[in-house]
């Protein structure tokens, strides 16, 4: 969601400005751990307005010394059908992973296939336009691609909690381009009875006047992503368009309606 995700906001921006929509970012939740291990957890997506269950994310990560090395995110709809899958490799760069996301029912693929010589090799495939590629210059300063954005936030969380605004570029393979964003803390909240910090992410440009922001809830102690609020990267089968307002909770207890492996 494919992305992970924040790319959802870029999708809204693309629609507002005439750019080609991206498969969107689905942000990862990183449990910190020592040593090498396989970590498996779920995210539960519900309608932000009425709480209706929509789909489940299954995250499977290879973690070493507290850092994700590789990961797979599988997306299952309300009936438990696999609708999308994304693979990510963070070994070359923590915030700019090599990744490939596929949604077979939509005939859609997007990927960051490689990074060398200061350039990124981007791919997008649609039924309408076939295969499109681009060699994109890596922007200067802080840069993230797809779900690597979560790592960028985690690395900068002390600054954000102290009230600083963090600016960065997000590479969106689905748009074959990069965009300027900013993140800042909004307020303190709680999640399952524990303290949490609400962050807001929005375009650092005039796009913020036509694109809804993303709200992200983080654990200030572990730096884990606890909840995501905003536009989805998964299509509503009733409309063929992305769900506009979702809440994805990385909670300990799944909704009773959730259908996915391991539940």
Beta partners for 72? 60, 87
In a domain, 185, yes or no: yes
Decide if 260 is inside a domain: no
**255 part of a folded domain:** no
Domain for residue 44, yes or no? yes
Burial annotation 47-83 (CB, 10 A radius, 16+ → b, else e): bbeeeebbbbbbbbbbbeeeebbbbebbbbbeeeeeb
Q: Which helix (H) or strand (E) holds 262?
A: none
| pLDDT, tens digit, 9 for 90 and up, residues 2-21 | 334 444 444 444 434 333 33
What DSSP state is assigned to residue 212?
P
Within 8 A by CB and 6+ apart from 34, the residues are 65, 66
Instruction: Say if 210 falls within a structural domain.
Output: yes
Residue 254 in any domain: the answer is no
Q: Looking at the predicted structure, is the pLDDT value of residue 199 above 90?
A: yes
pLDDT band at 241 (very low <50, low <70, confident <90, very high): confident
Per the structure, the count of domains in the chain is 1
Q: Cβ(167)–Cβ(185) under 8 Å?
A: no
Q: Return the minimum-mean-pLDDT range out of 45-54, 182-191, 226-235.
A: 226-235
Question: Is residue 213 included in any domain, yes or no?
Answer: yes
Q: What pLDDT is attached to residue 157?
A: 98
pLDDT tens, position by position, 29-79: 444 445 689 999 999 999 999 999 999 999 999 999 989 999 999 999 999
Residues of the chain with pLDDT > 90, as a percent, come to 71
Full domain range(s) for residue 238: 7-249
Residue 45 near residue 247 (C-beta atoms within 8 A): yes
Distance from chain centroid for Cα 258: 20
The answer to the question of residue 259 being in a domain is: no
* Residue spans of alpha helices (H) in the chain: 7-17, 148-161
Q: Let me know: does 58 contact 76? Beta carbons within 8 Å.
A: yes
């Amino acid at each position: 969601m494919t992305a992970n995700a924040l790319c959802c906001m870029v999708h809204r921006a693309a629609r507002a400005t005439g750019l080609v929509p991206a498969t969107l970012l689905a942000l990862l939740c990183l449990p910190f751990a020592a040593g090498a291990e396989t970590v498996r957890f779920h995210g539960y997506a519900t309608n932000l307005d009425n709480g209706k269950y929509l789909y489940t994310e299954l995250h499977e990560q290879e973690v070493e010394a507290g850092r994700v090395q590789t990961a797979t995110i599988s997306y299952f709809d309300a009936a438990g059908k696999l609708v999308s899958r994304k693979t990510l490799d963070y070994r070359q760069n923590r915030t700019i992973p090599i990744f490939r996301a596929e949604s077979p029912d939509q005939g859609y693929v997007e990927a960051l296939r490689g990074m060398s010589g200061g350039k990124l090799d981007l791919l997008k495939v649609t039924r309408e336009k076939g295969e499109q590629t681009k060699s994109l210059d890596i922007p200067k300063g802080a840069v993230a691609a797809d779900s690597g954005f979560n790592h960028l936030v985690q690395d900068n969380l002390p600054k954000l909690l102290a009230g600083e605004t963090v600016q960065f570029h997000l590479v969106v393979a689905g748009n074959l381009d990069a965009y300027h964003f900013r993140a800042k803390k909004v307020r303190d909240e709680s999640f399952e009875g524990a303290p949490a910090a609400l962050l807001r992410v929005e375009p650092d440009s005039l796009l913020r006047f036509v694109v809804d922001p993303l709200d992200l809830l983080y654990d200030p102690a572990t730096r884990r992503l606890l909840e995501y609020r905003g536009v989805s990267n998964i299509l509503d089968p009733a409309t063929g368009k992305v769900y506009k307002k979702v809440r994805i909770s990385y909670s300990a207890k799944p909704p009773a309606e959730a259908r996915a492996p391991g539940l």
